[in-house]
Amino acid sequence: MAASTSATPSSLAGFSRGRRWDHLELLERIDGSGSISTAASAMGMSYKAAWQAVEAMNNLSEQPLVERHAGGRHGGGTTLTEYGRRVVGAYRRLETEREKVLAHLGRIMDDFDQYYQLIRRFDMKTSARNQFLGKVKSVKHGPINAEVILDIGGGDTLAAIVTQDSAEHLSLTASMEAYALVKAPWVIVTTDEKMKTSARNRLCGTVVRCHEGAINSEVVIELPGGKMVVAMVTNDAVKDLGLKEGVRACALIKASHVILAVNA
């Protein structure tokens, strides 16, 4: 294994400016400005993209990283929680140490760049708008399918129906961490909290944003624990249900529409 004459592989130059670094910078700018709009503008992001990033981070965190406050240009200011500030501090130190390690490997391995590019392809990316990190509460096995109950925090749970093969492949057991993925079009929204449906999952909270498109609208519901559920519904449905910021609403999700994933 020959030593490389180049200082750092070209692929490493953009590593710290990737998606995870953008999220870290977004959190820092929110903390400094107290405004997600100001933070997004400074980074060249749209307000919607910034909120989507914040919602994704809150959903994958055990505690909220960002919290909203009444008043402000866009319906409320935003600040980091104390937990969020600790996460940013820890992540900033981690990034510094990781860059040192990657730079060192680049100096002693002439083919490190090739393998590093391959390793980065293994990072999971998904089009599912809703991503929750939780702990498995129980796994009930049946002849063909298994029922998995996932605690996503804040007193909310998600039930998922997966095949026995999938449950075995993921090695699902109680107390282990798992991700629940749900596409926004699969989420049904109702304002009738007592309505009986066949959907196994009912997550109720408050509408914090309605983004209207040409045909459909993106509706974001904040749950009591700070998690966000995003649904894609028709504009007619938004009008019929009277959906707007501050309205109580429930997200209904069929157990068969919940996709589970675990870290390898």
Three-state SS for 220-249 is EEECCCCCEEEEEEEHHHHHHHCCCCCCEE
Quote the pLDDT of residue 225.
Answer: 87
Strand pairing partners for 145? 163
- Sign of the CA dihedral with 91 first, then 175, 250, and 256 last: positive
Q: Where are the CATH 1.10.10.10 domain residues in the chain?
A: 10-120
pLDDT in tens, 127-167: 889 999 999 999 999 999 999 999 999 899 999 999 999 99
Quote the pLDDT of residue 107.
Answer: 75
Which CATH number applies to 126-264?
Answer: 2.40.50.100
Quote the pLDDT of residue 73.
Answer: 53
pLDDT along the chain (264 residues), means of 10: 36 39 85 91 90 88 84 67 91 80 74 64 74 95 96 94 94 94 96 92 96 95 93 96 96 97 84
Quote the pLDDT of residue 118.
Answer: 59
pTM for this prediction? 0.71
Q: Where are the CATH 2.40.50.100 domain residues in the chain?
A: 126-264
Quote the pLDDT of residue 1.
Answer: 37
Does 10-120 carry CATH code 1.10.10.10? yes
- Sign of the CA dihedral with 205 first, then 198, 127, and 161 last: positive
Helix (H) or strand (E) holding 219: strand 216-222
